[in-house]
Amino acid sequence: MKKINEFRMTVEAKAVNESFCRAVCAAFAAQADPGVEEIGDIKTAVSEAVTNCIVHAYAEKGGKIYISAALLENGVLRVKVRDRGCGIADVKQAMQPLYTTKGDDRSGLGFSVMETFSDKLTVRSKVGKGTTVVIEKRLGSDGNA
């Protein structure tokens, strides 16, 4: 599918950048005339992916997060969130609802939330190399658009 538009950015894996990252993706999506709900869906899914880079991939020690987004001809927004962190040994297990390797404040729902609020979610990961999460969302079918 042809890209109509795209952007790329690299951002430090700091918690303070979480709201910045989701706002950038929402602002980029705005050109496709999304509804209020769709914007909320994108922000929520992006926030989960970015937070996972900070909390898990780099274990709060910092690193770089690579974000890119493309708007496709068919009205789909495709956001990629990539890190060069620790990677995930068993992606299928990690994506199970309530599965978490960080008890306390984490509930193991990030991937479930990403799945719920996107149309398609793809996760590729290699231990020691990093993880790429691809979130796809069709825009403009909200009704409020």
Ligand X SMILES: Nc1ncnc2c1ncn2[C@@H]1O[C@H](COP(=O)(O)OP(=O)(O)OP(=O)(O)O)[C@@H](O)[C@H]1O
Closest separation between CB of residue 57 and Mg ion, Å? Answer: 11
Interaction site with ligand X (CB under 6 A):
48, 52-53, 56-57, 83, 85-88, 94, 99-102, 106-111, 131
Q: Is 106 a catalytic residue?
A: yes
Task: Name the residue nearer to another protein (CB basis): 112 or 132.
Answer: 112
Out of 86, 109, 132, 140, name the contact with another protein by CB under 8 A.
Answer: 109
Is residue 18 a contact partner of residue 68, using CB atoms and an 8 Å limit? no
57 binds, among Mg ion, another protein, ligand X, none (CB under 5 to 8 A by kind): ligand X
Q: Please name the amino acid found at residue 48.
A: E
Q: Is 85 helix (H, G, I), strand (E, B) or coil?
A: coil
When the beta carbons of 51 and 72 are compared against another protein, the nearer one is 51
Do 81 and 49 meet the contact criterion of CB atoms below 8 Å apart? yes
The closest of 22, 29, 36 to 113, measured between CA atoms, is 22
> Binding to Mg ion by residue 125, rule CB under 5 A?
no
Residues 18, 22, 38, 48: which is the catalytic one?
A: 48
* DSSP secondary structure, 24-53, as one string: HHHHHHGGG---HHHHHHHHHHHHHHHHHI
**Is 48 a catalytic site residue?**
yes
Residue 63 partner contact from ligand X, Mg ion, another protein, none using kind-dependent CB cut-offs of 5 to 8 Å? none
Quote the CA–CA distance of 59 and 53 in Å, as a whole number. Answer: 8
Known catalytic residues? 48, 52, 106
